[in-house]
C-alpha cells in the first residue's frame, strides 16, 4: 500500500504543480472539468451507492453547471477593474457558508444524519455546494496572475495546498505520538484533538515561510488566515468522512492507487479553497 501511495504521488504531483504554475488560467479552467466530473461521480455514490442512474445524473448536472460557468463567465471576463464577477463572488460566499453548516452537521453527527441521510435531494445539494465553490475558488485564485508576476495566481493555489499538506502531516505525526482524546469519534475514529493541534502548529511553518518571502505582509493576518484555512481543511476531511460513513463506503473511488478516489485526495481542499478565497477577496485584494 505504501509503495502504491508513493508511486501515485511521484507521477501525480508534477502534473498538479505543472498545471498550477504553467498552464494559462483559461486552459486551467477547462482542464479542471474532467477532474471534477470524476469527483462528482464519486459523490454520486454517497447519494445512492447502488443506483448508477442517480450517480450519473448527479455527475451530468454538476458537469453542465461547470461548463456553463466556463462558457458564460470565461476567465478573461472574470475580473473588471480589479473586482471579481458577482456570480463568482456569490458562489464563493455561498460555498463558505455551506462549510459553516457542514461543520455543524459533522459536530452533531449521527443525530444530524436523520435530516439528510435518506434524502437524495439534500445529498445532491450538499455535493454541489462542496464541488462547485471549490472549482470557482481554484479558478479565482489561479486567475490572479499579473504581468508583473505571472506565477502569482499559481502561488496562491499552491499556498493553500501547502497549508493543507502541513496540517495533514502535522496531524498524522502528532496524532500517532500524542493522540489520546478523540476529535469526532462518530465520524472518524482515528482523528484526535492532539492531532488537530499538531496539524495547526505545523501550518505555522507555512505562515512564517510566507513572511520570509513576503515580509510586507501583516504577521497576525497571515497567521489567522493560515489557521482558519487549516481548520476548514480539517472539517472538509471530516465532512467527506461523514458522508462516506453514512453511505457505508470506505473510499470514494479507486482511480488513484493507494489513495482511493479524487475526493479522498481533495476533500480538505474543497473546504480550504473557498474559505481562503473569500478571506483573500475580503482582506487582501
pLDDT (0 to 100) of residue 1: 54
Percent of the chain exceeding pLDDT 70 equals 95
Q: Quote the CA–CA distance of 147 and 43 in Å, as a whole number.
A: 38
List CB contacts of 162: < 8 A, sequence separation 6 or more: 206, 209
Pick from 263, 278, 264, 260: nearest CA to 36: 263
State the residue range of the domain holding 162. 2-283
How many structural domains compose the chain?
1
User: pLDDT value at position 150?
Assistant: 84
- 3-state SS assignment for residue 117: coil
All cell numbers assigned to 135: 472549482
Q: Check whether 277 has a pLDDT greater than 60.
A: yes
Torsion of Cα atoms, 101 then 96 then 284 then 149, to 10°: 140
CB distance 247 to 46 below 8 Å: yes
Task: Name the percent of the chain lying above pLDDT 90.
Answer: 84
- How does residue 182 score in pLDDT terms, banded at 50, 70 and 90? very high
Model confidence band, residue 198 (pLDDT cutoffs 50, 70, 90): very high
Angle at CA of residue 16, ends 126 and 20, nearest 5°? 90
Predicted local confidence at residue 12, as pLDDT: 81
pLDDT value, residue 261 = 86
Q: HSE-up of 138 (CA within 13 Å, CB side)?
A: 29
Residue 161 has pLDDT above 90, yes or no: yes
- Average pLDDT in the 66-91 region? 94
Mean pLDDT of 185-214: 95
Residue 50, all three cell numbers: 447502488
pLDDT, mean over the chain: 92
pTM, to two decimals: 0.95
Low-confidence winner among 106-115, 178-187, 217-226, 255-264 (lowest mean pLDDT): 255-264
Residue 50 phi/psi, 5° resolution? -105, -5
| Region label for 71, one of left (φ > 0), alpha (ψ between -120 and 50) or beta (otherwise) | alpha
Give 63 or 82, the one with higher predicted confidence. 63
| pLDDT exceeds cutoff 90 at 80 | no
- Residue 172 CA to residue 192 CA, distance in Å, equals 9
Residue with cell 511521484: 10
pLDDT value of residue 257: 65
Task: Render pLDDT for 233-244 as a digit per residue (tens, 0 to 9).
Answer: 999 999 999 999
Amino acid at each position: 500500500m505504501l509503495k502504491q501511495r508513493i508511486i501515485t504521488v511521484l507521477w501525480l504531483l508534477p502534473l498538479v504543480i505543472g498545471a498550477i504554475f504553467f498552464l494559462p488560467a483559461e486552459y486551467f479552467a477547462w482542464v479542471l472539468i474532467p477532474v471534477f466530473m470524476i469527483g462528482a461521480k464519486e459523490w454520486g455514490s454517497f447519494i445512492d451507492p447502488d443506483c448508477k442512474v442517480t450517480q450519473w445524473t448527479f455527475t451530468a448536472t454538476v458537469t453542465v453547471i461547470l461548463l456553463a460557468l466556463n462558457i458564460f463567465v470565461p476567465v478573461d471576463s472574470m475580473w473588471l477593474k480589479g473586482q471579481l464577477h458577482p456570480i463568482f463572488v456569490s458562489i464563493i460566499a455561498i460555498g463558505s457558508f455551506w462549510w459553516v453548516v457542514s461543520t455543524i452537521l459533522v459536530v452533531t453527527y449521527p443525530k444530524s444524519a436523520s435530516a439528510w441521510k435518506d434524502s437524495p435531494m439534500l445529498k445532491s445539494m450538499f455535493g454541489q455546494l462542496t464541488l462547485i465553490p471549490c472549482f470557482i475558488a481554484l479558478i479565482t485564485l489561479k486567475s490572479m496572475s499579473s504581468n508583473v508576476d505571472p506565477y502569482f495566481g499559481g502561488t496562491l493555489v499552491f499556498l493553500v495546498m501547502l497549508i493543507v499538506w502541513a496540517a495533514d502531516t502535522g496531524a498524522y505525526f502528532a496524532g500517532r505520538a500524542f493522540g489520546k482524546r478523540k476529535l469526532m469519534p462518530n465520524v472518524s475514529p482515528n482523528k484526535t484533538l492532539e492531532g488537530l493541534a499538531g496539524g495547526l502548529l505545523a501550518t505555522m511553518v507555512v505562515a512564517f515561510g510566507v513572511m520570509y518571502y513576503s515580509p510586507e505582509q501583516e504577521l497576525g493576518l497571515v497567521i489567522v488566515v493560515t489557521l482558519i484555512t487549516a481548520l476548514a481543511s480539517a472539517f472538509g476531511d471530516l465532512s467527506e468522512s461523514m458522508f462516506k460513513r453514512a453511505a457505508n463506503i470506505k473510499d470514494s473511488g479507486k482511480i488513484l492507487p493507494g489513495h482511493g478516489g479524487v475526493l479522498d485526495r481533495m476533500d480538505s481542499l474543497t473546504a480550504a479553497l473557498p474559505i481562503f478565497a473569500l478571506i483573500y477577496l475580503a482582506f487582501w485584494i
